[in-house]
Structures are given as structure tokens and as C-alpha cells.
Chain A
Amino acid sequence: QKEVEQDPGPLSVPEGAIVSLNCTYSNSAFQYFMWYRQYSRKGPELLMYTYSSGNKEDGRFTAQVDKSSKYISLFIRDSQPSDSATYLCAMSEGTGNQFYFGTGTSLTVIP
């Protein structure tokens, strides 16, 4: 079993839709949860960073962590064509510990 599982998609939605991206994990020691966006032929770009359980909102993006279910989500409201990218979740046990990445979910927002 992989440390982090992520549905690779692809996911295709119309502009303005709410997008839900999810990851599950098996390691209960994970405390830090990150979402990265990766455009084609570019490096990953940090979107959201959450410690422990709870919600965090930044503009159109909301990250949720449910440690009891070992499940994290990223919601994108009012999706835009510029949101078309691959979204990677990442997790670590603590500061300085290595990140474990999901395989990424490919998202296309259709105008």
C-alpha cells in the first residue's frame, strides 16, 4: 500500500464549477499537509499548507484535513481555465521530514 493515494483523473469541469480533489493516506504520523499545483513542463507551486486537522481558506481555495479518516481535500470555487493543471497532495510527519507526494490529479476547466 502506498503512503499516499490520489485519484489521477483526468477531471474535466465547466468554468465556474466547484472542484473537489482528494487524497487518502495510511501513515497516522503525518501532521503537515500540502497542496501543490503543477502546470505542464513546470515545477510544482505551493498552493496551500495545513498543520493537523481543520480547514484553511485562501481566496477561491479551501483545504480540509480529517486526520481521523486519513483524508484530505482541496476545493476550488468558481473554477477558471487558468486552474487547469495537475494538483499534487503532499504530506510529512514534521518539519524537516521528507514529503510524500500523491500521483497528482489532472484537472481541465473548460471555458
Chain B
Amino acid sequence: EAGVAQSPRYKIIEKRQSVAFWCNPISGHATLYWYQQILGQGPKLLIQFQNNGVVDDSQLPKDRFSAERLKGVDSTLKIQPAKLEDSAVYLCASSSAQGGGNEQFFGPGTRLTVL
């Protein structure tokens, strides 16, 4: 079974530029999560999707971050404009059970550096 795929793996941009990340979850997984992991910290949930609907986006900085999951499969996370403090690893995870379950499987992450 293929795992969670993410691209790109690395991205370097200047502040005020925009960037987009892509995630393909494990086949059949209805729940998809985007996390932000700053160096030396644990992952922090940004947004949770159940199929193509948003379940929780309370910690998503909506003035600059947006995410979508069209057709309930792939998802994209966008930052516009980026700030220095957005430098982090952006992790995508998926889960199979209704409502998310408690076994989340993570992708390798996208490491973003904002200069």
C-alpha cells in the first residue's frame, strides 16, 4: 500500500512570495490533515478535512493560508504572502476511519524556508 505522498520536498522562497504544497493521501482515506512543524517543536494542526469538507480550521491563519481538497482526494495548501515565521516543515497526514480515527499516517513533509 502506497503511503502519503507530498511534493515538493523542499522549497525556498523570499518573504511576501506565494507557495503551494500538494498532498495525495493513502487510497481510500477519507480524513486528511495538514500540520505545521517548526524546528524543535511537535506538529501543530492547521486544518482537517473529512472527504472534501473542512472539519477543523481553527488554527489556520486564514489571512495568508488557504487549503482545499477538491473531489475528496488530493489536497493543496497555499501560503500567500509568506512570512519569515512560516519557515517550517508542512506535514500531510491521512486517516481511514469515519471522523478521523486515531491512527494518522504521515507523509515525508515539505520543508519550507522563507528568506
A residues bordering B, Cβ < 8 Å?
Answer: 4, 6, 8, 32, 34, 36, 41-46, 49, 51, 88, 90, 92, 95-99, 101-104
A103-B91 in contact (CB<8A): no
Contacts A101-B43, A101-B44, A103-B41: A44 and B106 contacting too (C-beta < 8 A)?
A: yes
Write out the residue numbers on chain A whose beta carbons fall within 8 Å of the beta carbon of B65. Answer: none
A95-B100 in contact (CB<8A): yes
A45 to B31: give the CA distance in the assembly, Å: 17
Contacts A95-B97, A101-B42, A103-B42: A34 and B102 contacting too (C-beta < 8 A)?
A: yes
The number of residue pairs between A and B whose CB atoms lie closer than 8 Å in the complex comes to 63
In the complex, whether B1 has a CB less than 8 A from a CB of chain A is no
In the complex, whether B8 has a CB less than 8 A from a CB of chain A is no
In the complex, whether B25 has a CB less than 8 A from a CB of chain A is no
Please tell me which stretch of B12-20, B66-74, B75-83, B107-115 contacts chain A, meaning at least 4 of its Cβ atoms lie within 8 angstroms of it. B107-115
Task: Please indicate which of the listed interface residues A43, A51, A90, A104 has the most CB atoms of chain B within 10 Å of its own CB.
Answer: A43
**22 pairs, A vs B, C-beta closer than 8 Å:** A4-B42, A6-B42, A32-B102, A41-B109, A42-B109, A43-B108, A43-B109, A44-B43, A49-B102, A90-B42, A92-B102, A95-B98, A95-B99, A96-B99, A96-B101, A97-B100, A98-B48, A102-B42, A103-B40, A103-B41, A103-B42, A104-B42
